[in-house]
């Protein structure tokens, strides 16, 4: 923690708008931060004045905006449902260039201003269309399950500014459930929401199409069956409603068979993100309990997608959640670890360059360097 404070004070400047800008800089080799195991980190936190995770990055009008979860320090023990992730609001990060100063903007949306929500504002995403910015966010509603917790739904909020404040619609998106929305707009202008996450994200409770409030808290014990799939639904032109019932995003293995539930290094857990490159659709996601970021490729937004490999090896901390953008003729992976706190629920967003081989494959990134 001593290091965190020093970095914050050395690198922070209050801007005219009253927001806090943090300059990234490298520490001298001798003072370079190291993991509890003594490893050097591949990259440094984008900001240190607040804890951030689940970074959804976008380029709007040539500027980079990151829509992260805003982690807070609550005294809740870690559990498989993720109760320790008790976030209450969103704050947008913005920067003119990667490697430059990062602005932490004021609160963009607070859970108290979402009429249907109870708690846990988890990984958001954003989109822009016709002069309006859309913030998509998962949060528990007020319909309690067997654990006394609300059911995750996905909400939408709008603003004329990419940094908010955003105004939430009075109800969640009809037909939405689970968490981790990621909105992808294809070259033809059609937009799709990918979403879903198992365990705390409740996707396993929707296996029959309707919510089972007494259903399992995990996907365990079904190793020989096809793994649970993330979901996709095309959005209507209003960007606020589904144009169709959600469908499965199927991931096939190298033999063309569905990835099985027991294959924890390949199966979908949470954190969908889609981009296109070289005519291919890349479906990327987290494997949760094995802590990888993976990718699979297909030839249309719905898939099926064929598993190709790991994008990122496990970071420090339990969760791994990311986004990928092209900026300034290079590709960038935004991700998060727990460098600043070494606590699973207090994460910090980072960025590193993502490379592609000539055949479109992605060499696996190690979040630590030797």
Catalytic residues: 54, 270
Q: Which of 44, 49, 52, 69 binds ligand FUB (CB under 6 A)?
A: 69
Token pair 């699973």 in the structure block, residue:
344
Cβ-contact 68, 87 below 8 angstroms: no
Cβ-contact 166, 135 below 8 angstroms: yes
Which residues share a beta bridge with 251?
305
We find the least distance from the C-beta atom of residue 87 to ligand FUB, in angstroms, to be: 7
Residue (7 or 315) nearer to ligand FUB, CB: 315
Q: Which of 179, 251, 324, 351 binds ligand FUB (CB under 6 A)?
A: 179
DSSP codes of every residue in 296-340:
EEESSTT--EEEEEEEE---SSS----EEEEETTEEEEEEEE-TT
Residue 38 CA, distance from chain mean position: 27
Nearest Cα residue to 322 out of 280, 292, 281: 292
The answer to whether residue 122 forms part of the interface with ligand FUB (CB under 6 A) is yes
Residue (180 or 337) nearer to ligand FUB, CB: 180
We find the least distance from the C-beta atom of residue 22 to ligand FUB, in angstroms, to be: 21
We find the least distance from the C-beta atom of residue 54 to ligand FUB, in angstroms, to be: 5
Q: Which of 20, 22, 46, 53 binds ligand FUB (CB under 6 A)?
A: 53
Interface pattern 291-330 for ligand FUB (x via CB under 6 A):
----------------------------x-x---------
How far apart CA 175 and CA 40 sit, in angstroms, is: 44
Cβ-contact 192, 236 below 8 angstroms: no
Dihedral (CA of 30, 33, 39, 40) sign: negative
Q: Which of 21, 44, 54, 322 binds ligand FUB (CB under 6 A)?
A: 54
The answer to whether residue 350 forms part of the interface with ligand FUB (CB under 6 A) is no
We find the least distance from the C-beta atom of residue 275 to ligand FUB, in angstroms, to be: 17
Cβ-contact 50, 104 below 8 angstroms: yes
The answer to whether residue 154 forms part of the interface with ligand FUB (CB under 6 A) is no
Residue (21 or 291) nearer to ligand FUB, CB: 291
Token pair 């290079």 in the structure block, residue:
330
CA distances from 289 to 270, 308, 320, 353, 369 (A): 10, 19, 10, 25, 23
Q: Which of 196, 270, 325, 333 binds ligand FUB (CB under 6 A)?
A: 270
We find the least distance from the C-beta atom of residue 122 to ligand FUB, in angstroms, to be: 3
The answer to whether residue 85 forms part of the interface with ligand FUB (CB under 6 A) is yes
User: 366 φ, ψ to 5°?
Assistant: -100, 125
The answer to whether residue 184 forms part of the interface with ligand FUB (CB under 6 A) is no
Contacts with ligand FUB: how many residues (CB under 6 A)?
14
How do strand 102-110 and strand 89-95 relate by DSSP bridges? antiparallel
How far apart CA 126 and CA 131 sit, in angstroms, is: 13
Q: How many helices (H) and strands (E) does the chain have?
A: 1, 24
We find the least distance from the C-beta atom of residue 207 to ligand FUB, in angstroms, to be: 20
* Total residues belonging to the chain: 370
Residue (122 or 268) nearer to ligand FUB, CB: 122
The answer to whether residue 229 forms part of the interface with ligand FUB (CB under 6 A) is no
We find the least distance from the C-beta atom of residue 85 to ligand FUB, in angstroms, to be: 4
The answer to whether residue 180 forms part of the interface with ligand FUB (CB under 6 A) is yes
The answer to whether residue 123 forms part of the interface with ligand FUB (CB under 6 A) is yes
The answer to whether residue 176 forms part of the interface with ligand FUB (CB under 6 A) is no
Binding interface with ligand FUB (CB under 6 A): 53-54, 69, 82, 85, 122-123, 179-180, 197, 270-271, 319, 321
């Amino acid at each position: 923690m001593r290091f965190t404070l020093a970095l914050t004070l050395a690198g922070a400047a209050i801007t005219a708008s009253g927001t806090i800008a943090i300059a990234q800089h490298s520490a001298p080799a001798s003072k370079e931060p190291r993991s509890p195991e003594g490893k050097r980190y591949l990259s440094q936190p984008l900001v240190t004045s607040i804890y951030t995770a689940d970074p959804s990055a976008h380029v709007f009008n040539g500027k980079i905006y990151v829509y992260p979860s805003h982690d807070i320090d609550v005294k809740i023990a870690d559990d498989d449902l993720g109760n320790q992730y008790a976030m209450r609001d969103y704050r947008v990060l913005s920067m003119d260039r990667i490697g430059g100063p990062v602005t932490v903007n004021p609160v963009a949306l607070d859970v108290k201003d979402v009429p249907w929500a109870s708690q846990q504002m988890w990984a958001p995403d954003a989109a822009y269309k016709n002069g309006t910015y859309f913030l998509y966010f998962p949060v528990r509603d007020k319909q309690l399950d067997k654990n006394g917790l609300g059911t995750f739904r996905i909400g939408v909020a709008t603003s004329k500014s990419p940094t908010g404040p955003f105004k939430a619609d009075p109800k969640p998106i009809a037909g939405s459930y689970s968490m981790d929305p990621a909105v992808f707009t294809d070259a033809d202008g059609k937009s799709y929401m990918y979403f879903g996450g198992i365990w705390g994200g409740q996707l396993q409770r929707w296996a029959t199409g309707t919510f089972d409030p007494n259903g399992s808290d995990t996907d365990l014990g079904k190793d020989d069956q096809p793994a649970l799939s993330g979901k996709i639904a095309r959005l209507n032109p209003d960007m606020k409603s589904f144009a169709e019932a959600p469908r499965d995003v199927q991931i096939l293995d190298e033999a063309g068979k569905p990835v099985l539930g027991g294959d924890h290094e390949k199966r979908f857990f949470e954190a969908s993100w889609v981009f296109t490159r070289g005519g291919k659709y890349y479906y990327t996601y987290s494997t949760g309990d094995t802590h990888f970021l993976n990718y699979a490729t297909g030839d249309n937004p719905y898939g099926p997608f064929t598993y190709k490999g790991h994008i990122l090896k496990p970071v420090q901390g339990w969760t791994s959640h990311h986004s990928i953008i092209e900026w300034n003729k290079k590709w960038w992976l935004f991700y998060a670890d727990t460098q600043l706190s070494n606590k699973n629920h207090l994460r910090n967003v980072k960025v590193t360059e993502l490379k592609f081989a000539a055949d479109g494959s992605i060499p696996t990134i190690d979040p630590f360097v030797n």
